[in-house]
């Protein structure tokens, strides 16, 4: 009897231990599933990671800005060649490696060195979705690619949310998105009670005076956020208009993208443009900085504030643009943002 009792106790203990071990194993597996990071890029491609990425090659300048905003700049190991161009001084303030030109630049939207990317051993590469062949080449090496295609401010928010998930900085990503949305609400509130006619704005890209954006564009969103109306009625995101149509649209204000080849004075001197209201009333403005006015980052709020002031200079509580710029850089980049000029 005693022997049978001992066998029974041992058998019960064994079952209990085995069952406990199984439960622990299931819990650990469930924990692993919960900790897995999953995002959908702009192709609809699902990317899965077991832990936050630590080695990022970012070949899109606007996307790079987002990583510094969420505090993940130390995870960047490769950048676009464009960063060492017009925006080099601003990024130098954010990252000493860029100031000393120590960060590798294996490509941009136009050219990508697959060999140099592979040598960097990244956890992920950020590229434009339109770079189909380069993306395929990178992915063929077993390197995940997050492909970007921005067509609206909602897309900008999604990009920041995804970057937060990928790097483990979700709370910071949510915070700067909410800050930006609050700033846009503030602009809308200040323009809500305007008793004057909405200004018609013609947006001019740097490629040429007739290069513009229609109602199906991020540019159109920003114009409307400023309390104005897009002079171009076409639904195209980007189009080349003809002079007769621009004259017919008769914009009240012309807004130029940052342009190293032309100034507002040059536009006012263009043959055939003298009869347009914006030219007659000296309402031609150029955005002051590629970095500050980047339409594909959360900094689009600054462009909206500039345009709002230019469209309605006599309204009450106009924005103090210098203060708005400093506040924005601090909120989006933290204390290091104060070093950006």
Same domain, yes or no, for 105 and 203? no
Residue 311 and residue 206 share a domain: yes
* Domain end (from 125, 148, 176): 176
Task: Tell whether 161 and 298 lie within a shared domain.
Answer: no
| Mean pLDDT on 23-44 | 64
55 with 112, same domain: the answer is yes
Please give the residue range of the domain that contains residue 256. 187-339
Task: Let me know the angle formed at the C-alpha of 157 by 155 and 158, rounded to the nearest 5 degrees.
Answer: 65
Do 103 and 191 lie in one domain? The reply is no
What pLDDT, on the 0 to 100 scale, is given for residue 24? 42
* End position of a domain, from candidates 124, 156, 176: 176
Q: What is the pLDDT of residues 73-120, one digit of tens each?
A: 999 999 999 999 999 999 999 999 999 999 999 999 889 999 999 999
Pairing of the two strands 239-240 and 211-212: antiparallel
- The enclosing domain of 66 has a CATH number of 3.40.50.1980
Co-location of 162 and 278 in the same domain: no
Q: How many CA atoms lie within 13 A of 144 on its CB side?
A: 17
**pLDDT mean over 145-163:** 97
Closest CA to 233 of 201, 206, 208, 207: 201
Of 147, 176, 205, the one marking the end of a domain is 176
181: helix, strand or coil = helix
The Cα–Cα gap between 76 and 189 comes to: 38
Q: Are residues 69 and 205 in the same domain?
A: no
User: Nearest to residue 242, comparing CAs of 270, 264, 217, 209?
Assistant: 209
Q: What is the pTM of this model?
A: 0.87
**Interatomic CA distance for residues 126 and 71, integer angstroms:** 17
Residue 76 lies in a domain: yes
Do 241 and 156 reside in the same domain of the chain?
no
Phi and psi torsions of 189, nearest 5°: -65, -40
**pLDDT at 212 > cutoff 80:** yes
In a domain, 23, yes or no: no
Is the same domain home to 152 and 214?
Answer: no
Residue 254 bridge partners (DSSP): 202, 284
Q: Residue 103 in 3-state DSSP?
A: coil
Residue with tokens 């507002």: 264
Pair of tokens at residue 293: 């006015």
The pLDDT of residue 324 is above 50: yes
Residue 11 is assigned to a structural domain of this protein: no
3 state SS of 259: coil
């Amino acid at each position: 009897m005693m022997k049978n009792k001992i066998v029974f106790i041992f058998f019960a203990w064994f079952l209990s231990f085995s069952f406990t071990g199984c439960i622990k194993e299931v819990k650990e597996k469930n924990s692993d599933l919960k900790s897995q990071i999953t995002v959908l890029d702009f192709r609809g491609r699902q990317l899965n990671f077991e832990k936050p990425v630590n080695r990022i090659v970012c070949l899109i300048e606007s996307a790079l800005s987002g990583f510094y905003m969420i505090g993940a700049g130390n995870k960047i190991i490769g950048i676009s060649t464009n960063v060492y161009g017009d925006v080099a001084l601003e990024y130098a303030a954010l990252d000493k490696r860029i100031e000393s030109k120590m960060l590798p630049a294996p490509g941009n939207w136009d050219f990508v060195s697959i060999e140099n990317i592979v040598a960097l051993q990244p956890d992920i590469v950020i590229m434009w979705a339109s770079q189909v062949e380069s993306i395929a080449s990178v992915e063929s090496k077993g390197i995940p690619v997050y492909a970007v295609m921005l067509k609206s401010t909602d897309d900008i928010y999604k990009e920041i949310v995804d970057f937060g998930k990928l790097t483990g900085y979700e709370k910071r990503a949510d915070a700067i998105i909410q800050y930006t949305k609050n700033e846009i609400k503030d602009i809308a509130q200040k323009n809500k009670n305007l008793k004057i006619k909405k200004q018609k704005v013609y947006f001019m890209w740097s490629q040429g005076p007739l290069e513009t954006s229609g109602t199906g564009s991020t540019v159109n969103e920003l114009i409307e956020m400023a309390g104005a109306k897009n002079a171009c009625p076409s639904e195209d995101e980007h189009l080349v208009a003809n002079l007769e149509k621009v004259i017919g649209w008769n914009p009240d204000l012309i807004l130029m993208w940052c342009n190293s080849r032309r100034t507002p004075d040059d536009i006012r001197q263009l043959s055939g443009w003298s009869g347009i209201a914006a030219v007659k009333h000296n309402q031609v403005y150029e955005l002051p900085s590629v970095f500050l006015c980047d339409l594909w980052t959360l900094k689009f709020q600054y462009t909206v504030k500039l345009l709002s002031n230019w469209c309605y200079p006599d309204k009450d509580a106009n924005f103090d643009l210098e203060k708005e710029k400093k506040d924005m850089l601090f909120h989006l980049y933290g204390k290091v943002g104060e070093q950006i000029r």
